[in-house]
Amino acid sequence: MSDVVERTLSALPGLLGQHDPGAGPGGAGGPGRVSASSRLGSLIRSITALTSKHEEEKLIQQELTSLKATVSAPSTTLRLMKECMVRLIYCEMLGYESSFGYIHAIKLAQQGNLLEKRVGYLAVSLFLHENHELLLLLVNTVVKDLQSTNLVEVCMALTVVSQIFPREMIPAVLPLIEDKLQHSKEIIRRKAVQALYKFYLIAPNQVQHIHDKFRKALCDRDAGVMAASLHIYLQMIKENSSGYKDLTGSFVTILKQVVGGKLSADFNYHSVPAPWLQIQLLRILGLLGKDDPRTSELMYDVLDESLRRAEINHNITYAILFECVQTIYTIHPKSELLEKAAKCIGKFVLSPKINLKYLGLKALTYVIQQDPNLALQHQMTIIECLDHPDPIIKRETLELLYRITNGQNVIVIVQKMLDYLKESQEEYAIISLVGKIAELAEKYAPNNEWFIQTMNAVFSVGGDVVHSDIPNNFLRLLAEGFDDEKEDHQLRVYAVQSYLALLEEEDKLYPQKFLQVMSWVLGEYFSLVTDVDPEVILTKLHSLLKKTFVTSETKAWIMAAVTKIASHTSCSKTVDEIIQELSSSLDTCLRQYAFELKHLCEDKALMKTLLPFDASCSDLVVDASLSFLDGFVAEGLAHGAAPYKPHHQRQEEKLSQEKALNFEPYGLSFASSVSSSGVTGRQSPTGLSFGSDISGNSAETGHKETNTLKLEGVRKLWGKEGYLPKKENKTGKENEPQPVPCGSLLAGQVGEAPALQPVQGASLSEEDKEKQQLASTLFIGLGSSAGVSLMGKADTATQKFKRKSKITETQQLSEEASDFQASAASDFDPLLDTVPVNVEDSEGSLHTRLRKASPSSSDTVEDNLAFETPQSLRKSVLDDRISANRLSQSSLFADGNIEIFQPSSGAQCESASETPLVPSLAEELEELPHSEVVGLCQSDALALHLCKVWTDDSLLLIVFVSNKTTSALHAVNLVFEETEHFQILESATSHFPVIEAQSVEHCQKCVRMNKVCTQAILPASVSYQSEMETCLEFSVALSLMDFIRPMEMTTEDFGKLWLSLSNDVKQNIKMSSCQDSLSAALDTLQQKLKLHRVDVIGNEGILACQLLPSVPCLLHCRTHSGMLALWFRSPCAALPDGLLYQCQKVMEES
């Protein structure tokens, strides 16, 4: 260890730039001048010589005290400050806070020479995080260094920007970094690309307008710049792969050159050419080729070459092989590549090395969805991995079993997961596994008893670390029930009986969440068990209240159960005892519950009315206006009470009384030409006070605004001055888990499995026979495609517990919307007559899956059909064709043959030979703004078309269902699936009992956006009965602009609403030659983005819109030096970013 320390210390002078020309061998610098490396070396040697942590803390505190005195002294030179910073960095790296030196690190970066600035920037990047308030002091220094002619200063500034830089200050440096993409030095271009990648991660919409420059970086002559751009493209392709299909050829060419060793030897690692570059490119190709035969065909050769060349036995080549396997199974399949990838997985799984075995299991888990036959080939190895001493191998094996679970092997797999849970002490593993077990139990439970016992085991073993969604979903399932009332009754009865049996064990300690579940079920369904006296249940709950390990929250659940049971009993001594005991409790909540229970018991009729049986799913009528308080309010006002003030008014009054520092950055600080008119703080964007005595001449006011200095704090504001602080969400920590030993709570026998095939005719040992028996139970059901559980994809297996919707859920887009709705006008501007039609948004999904039921088997085969992208949506709709290739391979048991249906490599879409029926809108809808009628999908018998209609308060999707045959179609069902982004109002299903031959039916769906996104997919499916049951799946692309409407308001209302909003985004956009004036730019935004122009004041304009149904977004525009400065504000944090992207897109297109 001492050798390593000495070698490190000898290298420090060169690293820190310590070169004193006047210092001779004897140290001619004099005894008073000790270099930074000597001081740091002395500190490191002293620490390594210590024997305890206490001695280290004492030494570091002495060093920090000395450093604090040195850096605070006014006589300290920059050279000495640099030496102190080096030691402070070392102390921080050891975990000791040295916050007193943060400001001095910034000063050193601002004032020092190159070496001192280098140390200052290094210290700042290590000391501060990107949200630190001191970073604002570094912005001007970064801007100055970016404009420097010294390459070293520019590199240092770019490095700091790519590591830590506040999101709000991006507009100040973005134009300068854009210019650096054209720099003659490749290191500058590379660092500029890295800085833009950082910007894309923290504020993607602020760099949307320079995507063309990213393409130039991809084609840069320097390989380092090209490699840096791959990070940006990987991120962008993850979000939207369809927009970058045209770059597939470029990525394939780059990968061919890398694999062929065309790059410099500097990129090699252990004789492997640019391995990390290969991994990035393989991931990109996998995303681009997914479900796209034409794109995948371009990359088959290079993937084959990558597999062939990655044969060196080294960890880095294993990583490349793993990425190759993932890519091959992600893109459109090719049989030759699949065989080679399967061999690689087999080598990994069978390897004695733990790391390679883990890679094999990881790859097998990934590809099991596409090729379940691989699991059958390696089933004995998987069984052995269940008993592997390495817990990571065990966990990955359980993940693999989770992916292949079906109704036939669920009992065995869940038992294996529970066995692992009982042994595991890792909180992460417990949380992950209990979620998987709960999902499998709900989906594949063979009977009610097994389901309840499994959930009991989950709550017992998982403890209080179980995610709250699991008990909530379990209770909701019990409350909502299923389509079968008899099943509902049996499940609830068994749950009550199970919990009563568990409470018989008085010394048993159960987790708090499990006790809460027990309490709720016993209180809700106690009357279903007729052979148990309610007094017995009350006695058991009373004993729980006396337990010291029961928390106050759980006691509240127990009291709620006691109250429900007491409402259906005439009189109870136990209830009286509970009231008497808790009336003097030190816990105020329990005293309150006892007080309420006492008064409810005095009026049994009222108690039964308030607590009806099994009413947990009943809808509650809530008086949102609180009209029952009108009398109280009137009485208070009559006695002189202060009237209620809205939120924004209280905020204004509060801010007018206290002056806070304004941390809002100057969005245009980088341009000296507009420094006199920068917009700052939470002020009005135009600088006008509508309630003041300023003249209403907007032109004159705008002229003054441009030619005079705009000072902070002047009264020319909308409303009151000050800074509106953003709200901070604070979440408390959950209780620590309590590990509870639990016996086996599962019961049930596993059905007989098919007999195993003889293995090479050799006699098997007892251990081998047990493993093969276990394999036959674990992998049963994989011989049929219907039995394979494809997690993340549509599963054709019948779900055991199918909930029926009793509760109507409403999702609200913003919790703050109610604070300002009173001050905002709710009327729309009339929609424009000419509404732009986005062809891409109207286009349906390109991936349709056809599912047909076999007349001879109940199994269902699901095939993916990939369609080519139509060049024009006006062309005739496409015809589906599929040819299935059957791949079967024998397994270790008798009926282990598996059938895998894959589309033929030559399958493609052709134009329909017959002219389809042309649907048209109804007369009342023709008058509204609407899109063209475009094709969604079709089969031999049926065709679907879509038309969007934009109303004032919603988006209507008109779906036309055309019967192309000469016979009637029966039982046609059209179902839209609700996603996290969209909500279907009213019913998401439309049913057509009969569609006559050569006729068209239609339905309309009203859609709302729940979660803001630029563009997303709304999946749907249509099924019908002809000669056999057929199902077509399709999707509709919807964009943000489908849900944006103009919002009328006055300038005064705009000002009030502006001050109440806290989420804002700023960006500068270059104006084209045809948009040389503010009026032209506002016309473009108003027409194409459906915005309402509120007012124009000089060179500034204000516009307003709203996201349906009533989420406002305000826009302030200002022109300067050929730039358009945009400033958005909205109560929804994601809405300004989405509209900013649309603005950039519209301005570039126009």
The one-letter amino acid at 81: M
Give me 581's structure tokens: 């005991």
- What is the Cα–Cα distance from 671 to 1124, expressed in whole angstroms? 13
Q: What percent of the chain has pLDDT over 70?
A: 72
* pLDDT of 776: 65
Q: Bridge-partner residues for 903, per DSSP?
A: 884
Burial of 319 (0-12, 13-18, 19+ CB in 10 A): middle
The residue among 426 and 783 whose pLDDT is bigger is 426
pLDDT for res 808 = 40
Instruction: Supply the mean pLDDT for the chain.
Output: 75
pLDDT greater than 50 at residue 964: yes
In this predicted structure, what is the pLDDT of residue 799? 56
Point out the least confidently predicted range of 88-92, 409-413, 911-915, 916-920. 911-915
> Poorest-confidence range of 336-340, 589-593, 724-728, 1001-1005?
724-728
Q: What is the pTM of this model?
A: 0.57
Give me 311's structure tokens.
Answer: 């044969």
Between 880 and 87, where is the model more confident? 87
Q: Which of 133, 184, 185, 216 is nearest to 196 (CA)?
A: 216
| DSSP string for 731-792 | -PPPPPP------------PPPPPPBPPSTTPPPPHHHHHHHHHHHHHSTTTTSGGG---TT
| Cα–Cα dist 806/650, whole Å | 41
Measured CA to CA in angstroms, residue 202 lies from 177, 195, 1012, 1045 at distances of 16, 11, 17, 28
The answer to whether the beta carbons of residues 642 and 648 sit under 8 Å apart is: no
pLDDT computed for residue 225 by the predictor: 93
Mean pLDDT across 559-574: 85
Range with lowest mean pLDDT among 185-194, 248-257, 1109-1118: 1109-1118
- Taking the C-alpha atoms of residue 1089 and residue 1083, their distance in angstroms, rounded to an integer, is 10
Residue 863, H or E segment? strand 860-866
Q: In which band, very low, low, confident or very high, does the pLDDT at 697 lie, cut at 50, 70 and 90?
A: very low
pLDDT attached to residue 896: 34
pLDDT digits (tens, 9 = 90+) for 294-339: 999 999 999 999 888 877 778 888 999 999 999 999 998 888 888 8
More confident position, 849 or 400: 400
Label residue 193 by pLDDT band (50, 70, 90): very high
How deeply is 949 buried, as exposed, middle or buried, from its count of CB atoms within 10 A (0-12, 13-18, 19+)?
A: buried
Phi/psi at 1102 (nearest 5 deg)?
-125, 140
What is residue 617's predicted lDDT score, i.e. its pLDDT? Answer: 65
The string of pLDDT tens digits covering residues 486-530 is 888 888 999 999 999 988 887 788 899 999 999 999 988 888 888
**DSSP classification of residue 585:** -
912 pLDDT more than 80: no
Structural contact between residues 5 and 48, judged by C-beta atoms closer than 8 angstroms: yes
For the ranges 770-779, 888-897, 1018-1027, the maximum mean pLDDT occurs at 1018-1027
CB 249 within 8 A of CB 299: no
Three-class secondary structure of residue 56 per DSSP:
helix
pLDDT of residue 156: 93
Q: What is the pLDDT of residues 1-57, one digit of tens each?
A: 456 555 655 665 555 554 444 433 334 343 444 455 578 888 888 888 888 989 999
Give per-residue pLDDT as tens, 612-650.
776 666 666 777 778 888 888 888 888 888 888 777 777
Determine the 3-state secondary structure of 273 from DSSP: strand
666 with 172: CB under 8 angstroms? yes
pLDDT of residue 2: 52
H or E segment to which residue 343 belongs: helix 335-350
What is the pLDDT at residue 726?
39
Residue 668 has pLDDT above 60, yes or no: no
The amino acid at residue 775 is: A
> At residue 59, does pLDDT exceed 70?
yes
pLDDT exceeds cutoff 70 at 206: yes
pLDDT digits (tens, 9 = 90+) for 387-445: 888 888 988 888 888 888 888 888 888 998 888 888 888 888 888 888 899 999 888 88
Amino acid at the residue 272: V
Peptide bond into 166 cis (omega under 30): no
Q: Is pLDDT larger for residue 350 or for residue 758?
A: 350
- Three-state DSSP state, 961: strand
**DSSP assigned state of 811:** -
Confidence of residue 226 (pLDDT cuts 50, 70, 90): very high
pLDDT at 809: 41
Q: What is the pLDDT of residues 260-302, one digit of tens each?
A: 888 888 888 888 899 999 999 999 999 999 888 899 999 999 9
> What is the rounded CA–CA span in Å between residue 634 and residue 644?
12
pLDDT given at position 270: 86
Residue 996 confidence (pLDDT) above 90: no
* Contact indicator for 397, 421 with CB cutoff of 8 Å: no
Task: State the pLDDT at residue 1109.
Answer: 83
- Dihedral angle sign, alpha carbons of residues 246, 252, 253, 254: positive
The residue whose two tokens read 């028996």 is 773
- The answer on pLDDT for 194 being more than 90 is yes
DSSP letter assigned to residue 1061: -
Confidence of residue 153 (pLDDT cuts 50, 70, 90): very high
Question: Distance between CA atoms of 113 and 109, rounded to whole angstroms?
Answer: 9
d(CA 214, CA 188): 15
- Whether the pLDDT of residue 813 is over 60: the answer is no
Over residues 729-753, the mean pLDDT reads: 41
pLDDT at 455 over 50: yes
Cα-only R_g, the chain: 35
